[in-house]
């Protein structure tokens, strides 16, 4: 308010809280965040090279005029680019001499000699350029393009849609390929580590320090299929390569000012006639290119894109609760135990044995199994082999049912949920709940409460056996109730759980019928088992037993009467 109180001045502030939040685009196939997306989301994605995008193409005007150099006669005009032995980079400026009179004087200014004026590509016409009278001046190339010492960083993310090379190999009946990515800049050469995959995920950073621009600026990236024997490369085949002109980007001020350089996907070409025709893509390479002044690069370390290197120590907790409708292997019962193996991690683990499980009865276990594994891993597929066995004291154990359960999605979800979290209180655990993950799970979900009052989500799964068929409805050999939980190791240490039925988070003892026991060590258990067996036998054979009992009773009565007749003939 003014001093006299008659005028009032107000400052209008923008109400930014009413503006809608910008929703982040998740450019993944399923639209869900992944570890790769979380690491690289700051870099705008482009599905083509930057010089072909609408945003960057006008800005990437060639810094120099490029003239390809050839050695001798061009043999194939359609493929002359592959025959080029180099490129001459230069800057051509055109200067137009103004019109002159017959006596050699300037037509516009007769009192002086005619001058040369600069004509640029943006001028409307030569006459318009002459009207501007921009005098001829030999510009210094060092002034136009000052030399700078830079560091070039190339972040190689992945190669995909790769055309299989000629070094296809087999191991354990499966075909495989081994690929590397090479980078060449000037006289420098670098390679990634070998990745065994047709479409390898690299997450590798190339660094070329103390490079000069202008200077060697053609960055060549190639994908090679190689063969390794006893740690040495014995053969290699070029799948395809691509080239990036760094000078066009370095002299683009907008690109240099970008804090996070865009991601781009470049096609890989192979000019070898035996591999593919010119212009036919042999695959694609996803990369990020960055160029910094060397004195600034020392203060700005390369970005860490090692998604594969960012492993998370996880703990898998599996609880075997019950079985139902177990196929009988010992006439009418089975001595059941469950064996589980996280393939590639340690040894298989198994529950104790529930003896005498009948077809329609429950096999009860309440048994916890634990594994520790890192995610992600290039050597693990996170597959769990689950087997239901019949225990035999004399003969070999008989397999009742078996199957493979993929737990990769469970580990992946745990990894993505806990990215960047350091406190165990903030970390999350993940349970296997969705029936779609297993493909054979029943829709019914249940909860089992342990002694600490924690509800454990469980899942019933139908198990089959290769000898009986794979139809879970017709060929089901066993129904298995289990829980699957994955959590970071830090959270597992903060909320420990014991193996088997031991504490902490102790599981309740299963409500099993009396089991066989040593009569010397456990006489009461042995007595209870004998009584239980007799009762069960009577229940199972109630009709025949009553019939036999009646027959015995009738025979006893007849025998008694016959004896009395013989003892007392007069009766």
pLDDT at 485: 94
Q: What is the mean pLDDT of residues 19-36?
A: 63
Of 442, 476, 494, the domain-final residue = 494
The answer to whether residue 423 sits within a structural domain is yes
Reference 214, options 148, 278, 304, 128; nearest CA is: 148
pLDDT at 83: 74
Question: Per-residue confidence at 182, pLDDT binned at 50, 70, 90?
Answer: very high
If DSSP codes are grouped into helix, strand and coil, which group holds residue 230? coil
Question: Per-residue confidence at 393, pLDDT binned at 50, 70, 90?
Answer: confident
Angle between helices 523-540 and 542-567 (to 10 degrees): 90
Tell me: do 132 and 161 sit in the same domain: no
Of 439, 464, 494, the domain-final residue = 494
- Domain extent, residue 130, equals 94-138
Tell me: do 339 and 284 sit in the same domain: no
Of 437, 459, 494, the domain-final residue = 494
Average pLDDT taken over every residue of the chain: 81
Q: Which of 145-154, 372-381, 551-560 has the highest mean pLDDT?
A: 145-154
The answer to whether residue 453 sits within a structural domain is yes
Tell me: do 326 and 290 sit in the same domain: no
pLDDT at 542: 63
Reference 284, options 263, 313, 305; nearest CA is: 263
Does residue 104 come out as left (phi exceeding 0), alpha (psi in the -120 to 50 range) or beta?
left
Is pLDDT of 17 > 50? no
Is pLDDT of 566 > 50? yes
Which one has a higher pLDDT value, 20 or 305?
A: 305
Q: What is the mean pLDDT of residues 496-522?
A: 79
pTM, 2 dp: 0.54
The answer to whether residue 512 sits within a structural domain is no
pLDDT at 553: 82
Tokens of 276: 């593919």
pLDDT digits (tens, 9 = 90+) for 225-278: 888 776 677 788 889 999 999 988 998 899 999 999 999 999 999 877 454 455
Q: What is the mean pLDDT of residues 429-438?
A: 67
DSSP state of 297: H
Lowest mean pLDDT among 136-140, 439-443, 506-510: 439-443
The answer to whether residue 526 sits within a structural domain is no
Tell me: do 162 and 120 sit in the same domain: no
Tell me: do 207 and 112 sit in the same domain: no
Question: Per-residue confidence at 487, pLDDT binned at 50, 70, 90?
Answer: very high
Cis peptide before 219 (omega within 30 of 0): no
The answer to whether residue 239 sits within a structural domain is yes
Tell me: do 217 and 354 sit in the same domain: no
pLDDT at 66: 79
pLDDT at 353: 92
Which one has a higher pLDDT value, 110 or 190?
A: 190
Tell me: do 195 and 344 sit in the same domain: no
Tell me: do 353 and 234 sit in the same domain: no
The answer to whether residue 503 sits within a structural domain is no
CA 519 to chain centre: 55
Q: What is the mean pLDDT of residues 434-458?
A: 57
CATH of the domain at 208: 2.60.40.150
The answer to whether residue 413 sits within a structural domain is yes
pLDDT at 15: 44
* Cβ contacts of 32-40, under 8 Å, gap ≥ 24: 33/416, 34/412, 34/416, 35/307, 35/310, 35/376, 35/412, 35/415, 35/416, 35/419, 36/157, 36/307, 38/416, 38/419, 38/420, 39/304, 39/305, 39/307, 39/310, 40/157, 40/263, 40/288, 40/305
Q: What is the mean pLDDT of residues 55-60?
A: 88
Tell me: do 255 and 329 sit in the same domain: no
Give the span between the Cα atoms of 40 and 233, in whole angstroms.
32
CA 463 to chain centre: 28
Total count of domains within the chain: 3
Q: Percentage of the chain with pLDDT > 90?
A: 30
pLDDT digits (tens, 9 = 90+) for 520-565: 666 776 676 676 667 666 666 666 667 777 788 888 888 777 777 7
pLDDT at 48: 94
Give the span between the Cα atoms of 452 and 506, in whole angstroms.
7
- Largest Cα separation within the chain, whole Å, is 179
Tell me: do 181 and 263 sit in the same domain: yes
Which one has a higher pLDDT value, 378 or 499?
A: 499
């Amino acid at each position: 308010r003014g001093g006299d109180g008659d005028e009032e001045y107000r400052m209008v502030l923008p109400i930014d809280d009413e503006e809608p939040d910008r929703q982040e685009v998740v450019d993944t196939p399923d639209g869900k965040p992944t570890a790769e997306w979380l690491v690289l989301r700051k870099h705008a994605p482009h599905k083509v090279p930057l010089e072909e995008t609408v945003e960057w193409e006008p800005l990437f005007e060639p810094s120099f005029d490029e003239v390809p150099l050839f050695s001798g006669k061009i043999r194939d005009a359609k493929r002359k680019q592959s025959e080029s032995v180099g490129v001459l980079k230069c800057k051509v400026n055109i200067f137009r001499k103004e019109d002159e009179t017959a006596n050699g004087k300037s037509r516009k200014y007769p009192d002086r000699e005619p001058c040369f004026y600069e004509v640029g590509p943006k001028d409307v016409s030569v006459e318009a350029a002459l009207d501007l009278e921009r005098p001829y001046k030999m510009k210094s190339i060092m002034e136009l393009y000052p030399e700078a010492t830079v560091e070039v960083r190339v972040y190689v993310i992945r190669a995909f849609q790769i055309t299989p090379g000629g070094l296809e190999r087999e191991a354990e009946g499966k075909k495989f390929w081994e690929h590397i990515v090479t980078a060449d800049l000037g006289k420098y050469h670098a390679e990634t580590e070998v990745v065994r995959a047709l479409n390898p995920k690299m997450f590798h950073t190339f660094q070329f320090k103390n490079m000069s621009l202008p200077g060697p600026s053609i960055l060549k990236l190639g994908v090679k299929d190689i063969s390794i024997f006893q740690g040495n490369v014995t053969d290699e085949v070029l799948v395809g390569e691509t080239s990036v002109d760094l000078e066009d980007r370095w002299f683009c001020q907008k690109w240099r000012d970008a804090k996070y350089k865009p991601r781009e996907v470049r096609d890989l070409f192979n000019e070898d006639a035996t591999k593919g025709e010119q212009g036919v893509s042999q695959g694609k390479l996803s990369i990020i290119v960055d160029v910094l002044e060397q004195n600034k690069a020392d203060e700005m370390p390369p970005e860490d894109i090692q998604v594969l290197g960012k492993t998370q120590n996880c703990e898998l907790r599996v609880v075997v609760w019950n079985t139902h409708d177990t196929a009988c292997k010992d006439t009418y019962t089975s001595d059941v135990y469950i064996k589980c193996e996280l393939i590639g991690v340690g040894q298989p683990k198994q529950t104790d044995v529930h003896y005498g499980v009948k077809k329609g009865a429950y096999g009860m276990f309440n048994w916890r199994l634990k594994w520790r594994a890192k995610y992600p891993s290039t050597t693990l597929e996170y597959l769990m082999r689950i087997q239901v066995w019949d225990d035999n004291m004399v003969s070999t154990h008989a397999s009742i049912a078996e199957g493979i359960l993929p737990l990769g999605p469970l580990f992946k979800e745990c990894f993505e949920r806990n990215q960047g979290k350091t406190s165990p209180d903030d970390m999350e655990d993940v349970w296997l709940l969705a029936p779609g993950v297993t493909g054979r799970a029943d829709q019914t979900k249940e909860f089992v409460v342990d002694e600490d009052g924690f509800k454990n989500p469980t899942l019933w799964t139908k198990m089959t056996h290769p000898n009986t068929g794979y139809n879970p409805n017709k060929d089901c050999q066993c129904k298995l109730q289990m829980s699957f939980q994955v959590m970071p190791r830090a959270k597992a240490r903060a909320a420990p759980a014991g193996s088997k039925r031991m504490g902490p988070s102790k599981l309740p003892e299963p409500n099993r019928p009396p089991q066989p026991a040593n009569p010397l060590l456990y006489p009461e258990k042995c007595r209870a088992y004998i009584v239980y067996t007799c009762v069960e036998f009577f229940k199972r054979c109630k009709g025949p037993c009553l019939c036999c009992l009646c027959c015995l009773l009738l025979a006893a009565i007849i025998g008694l009467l016959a004896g009395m007749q013989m003892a007392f003939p007069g009766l």
